[in-house]
Amino acid sequence: MVESGECSGAKPSGEVWAGLVPLDSRYSDVEIISNESVISSEISTSSFDKHNWCKIIRNSDSCSASIKNKSPNTILVDEAAVLSQETVVIKDGSEVISGPDREGFLRYRFNIMPSLEISQKKLKIYMDAGHAKCSICLNIWHDVVTVAPCLHNFCNGCFSEWLRRSQEKHSSVLCPQCRAVVQFVGRNHFLHNIAEEILEVDSSLRHSNEDIALLDSYASVRSNLIIQSGKMHRRKRARSPVDGHSDGLDLPCPQCGTESGGFRCNHNTVHLQCQACGGMMPSRMGAGVPQHCLGCDRAFCGAYWHALGIMTSNSYPVCSPETFRPISEYSISRIPVSAHEENQHEQNITESCIRQMGRTLQDVVAEWIAKFNSREIDRTSTTLNHAEIITANTHVCSDCYDKLVSFLLYWFRISIPKYCLPPDSSRREDCWYGYACRTQHHNEEHARKRNHVCRPTRGS
């Protein structure tokens, strides 16, 4: 059953929709619940007396508000004076000072709760945990995979073991649940999240640690596997002689008809589809050449075919080795768009710092890859999978290389002392939400005025 969540729009919701957060943490946050609130709080740094000094009115656009100065004094909003009884618009991140001067009065940051708008739109899905069970082990899916065309779901470990046994005995792999011939299997990240949520609600449904270790040791599905059906294969074999050269038209990969490097695909061979060119390659555990990007677990064919000396041809798509290579072999001339949370102001500042130092981006990135390699950098905040085992020699795809460079450029930037930044950027204060700030993406002025290459100190 699917039910849309509460949508309160601009009606009073009983929830905090905004707040005034004092810069000085000795004072407490002012939470704003009603759509028109007279704010009563401390205004002077010399006393803890509270005064009714302004009124905040919610705007219907959910991303701004109006502030009316109710005090007899002038107040400052985003560095502009607001006279008594005057009203101005404030946005998420606006600075409000409770008097005419930065000294002696409290400085507040106006925040619109970021989660509210999203939570209003969130759907609640009620699901029977029984529908999230693997029909092989009868437990909630662990690392769920989906097979096609029948679209049944199993634990990765359970299905991998089934796949291995079927390949030993049969010419085709049948779905353990409905006996349909399986042509494809892939990990299902959407259902994985659902299974995780179910386990969060009812932890009694969890597999034991021993079960999980066993399942993980069986699991062989990393990226999508293409499984040839025996029927298709027999038809092909009847057409082309076993040792003959096939025209390759029906065969998924360059090694299907022809032996190379001491290997030729047979009817049991499971194929991986390359994420860059869409071509196929046999899934080979001990081939000694990486077939998956460690940063994203997707399959890439460039290194595999390159090692075998197989180039692209008319019959099969094959990647050039540039699409998938060791981190140390990439070169870079431009800051990736993903750097500094896609904040272009910060990218420009980093770029000009590098220029002022008389260095090149390539040179800086190489230096920081060396630091990464020698474990001088805390890796816990990378968005790469398997970050702990990645070295400069690890093969990664170009997306993951960009992610790594963005991560390293953050560390490079925070290593630069503030006085070495361009003068107008070194004067900026840190945004309290740091790199996690959402306002930097839609508020040009805010992105320019505050430093966002820093850790969040408030909010989540």
Q: Which residues contact residue 133 at a Cβ distance below 8 angstroms, ignoring those fewer than 6 apart? A: 139, 140, 141
| Residue 97 binds to Zn ion (criterion: CB under 5 A) | no
Dihedral of the alpha carbons of 378, 383, 387, 391, in degrees to the nearest 10: -90
CB of 86 to Zn ion, least distance (A): 26
Q: Which residues contact residue 110 at a Cβ distance below 8 angstroms, ignoring those fewer than 6 apart? A: 18, 19, 20, 56, 65, 67, 90, 91, 92, 93, 94, 95, 96
Stretch that binds Zn ion, among 51-59, 98-106, 330-338, 428-436 (CB under 5 A): 428-436
Distance CA 258, CA 315 (A): 13
Question: Which of 145, 158, 361, 409 touches Zn ion by CB under 5 A?
Answer: 158
| Residue 301 binds to Zn ion (criterion: CB under 5 A) | yes
Residue whose tokens read 């070295």: 391
| Residue 226 binds to Zn ion (criterion: CB under 5 A) | no
Distance CA 148, CA 188 (A): 12
Distance CA 426, CA 4 (A): 46
Binding residues among 279-298 for Zn ion as defined by CB under 5 A: 279, 282, 293, 295-296
Residue whose tokens read 């930097």: 440
Stretch that binds Zn ion, among 7-15, 55-63, 197-205, 248-256 (CB under 5 A): 248-256
CB of 224 to Zn ion, least distance (A): 13
Which residue from 197, 206, 187 is spatially nearest to 126, judged by alpha carbons? Answer: 197
CB of 338 to Zn ion, least distance (A): 13
Helical pair 361-373 and 344-356, crossing angle rounded to 10 deg: 100
Measured from the CB atom, is 35 or 64 closer to Zn ion? 64
| Residue 310 binds to Zn ion (criterion: CB under 5 A) | no
Measured from the CB atom, is 65 or 185 closer to Zn ion? 185
Residue whose tokens read 């779901």: 153
Distance CA 106, CA 425 (A): 25
Measured from the CB atom, is 97 or 397 closer to Zn ion? 397
Stretch that binds Zn ion, among 109-117, 196-204, 251-259, 325-333 (CB under 5 A): 251-259
Structure tokens at 62: 């959910």
Question: Which of 112, 226, 253, 270 touches Zn ion by CB under 5 A?
Answer: 253
Distance CA 198, CA 192 (A): 10
Distance CA 278, CA 234 (A): 25
Distance CA 236, CA 244 (A): 12
Stretch that binds Zn ion, among 160-168, 228-236, 242-250, 398-406 (CB under 5 A): 398-406
Residue type, 312: T
Residue type, 59: N
CB of 450 to Zn ion, least distance (A): 5
- Asked if 260 and 306 touch (Cβ cutoff 8 Å), the reply is no
Stretch that binds Zn ion, among 96-104, 219-227, 350-358, 391-399 (CB under 5 A): 391-399
Residue type, 17: W
Question: Which of 18, 397, 404, 405 touches Zn ion by CB under 5 A?
Answer: 397
Question: Which of 256, 308, 310, 404 touches Zn ion by CB under 5 A?
Answer: 256
Measured from the CB atom, is 96 or 134 closer to Zn ion? 134
Stretch that binds Zn ion, among 94-102, 263-271, 337-345, 366-374 (CB under 5 A): 263-271
| Residue 299 binds to Zn ion (criterion: CB under 5 A) | no
| Residue 274 binds to Zn ion (criterion: CB under 5 A) | yes
Stretch that binds Zn ion, among 65-73, 204-212, 333-341, 433-441 (CB under 5 A): 433-441
Stretch that binds Zn ion, among 1-9, 114-122, 174-182, 216-224 (CB under 5 A): 174-182
| Residue 163 binds to Zn ion (criterion: CB under 5 A) | no
Residue whose tokens read 């390659």: 281
Question: Which of 134, 227, 272, 353 touches Zn ion by CB under 5 A?
Answer: 134
My answer on whether omega of the bond before 149 falls inside 30° of 0, hence cis, is yes
CB of 191 to Zn ion, least distance (A): 13
- Asked if 267 and 233 touch (Cβ cutoff 8 Å), the reply is yes
Residue type, 113: M
* Phi, psi (deg, nearest 5) at residue 97: -110, 130
Stretch 18-57: interaction string toward Zn ion, x if CB under 5 A:
----------------------------------------
| Residue 177 binds to Zn ion (criterion: CB under 5 A) | yes
| Residue 272 binds to Zn ion (criterion: CB under 5 A) | no
Which residue from 391, 389, 398 is spatially nearest to 370, judged by alpha carbons? Answer: 391
CB of 41 to Zn ion, least distance (A): 23
| Residue 436 binds to Zn ion (criterion: CB under 5 A) | no
* Interacting residue ranges for Zn ion, rule: CB under 5 A: 134, 136-137, 150, 152, 155, 158, 175, 177-178, 180, 253, 255-256, 265, 274, 276-277, 279, 282, 293, 295-296, 301, 319, 397, 400, 431, 433, 437, 439-440
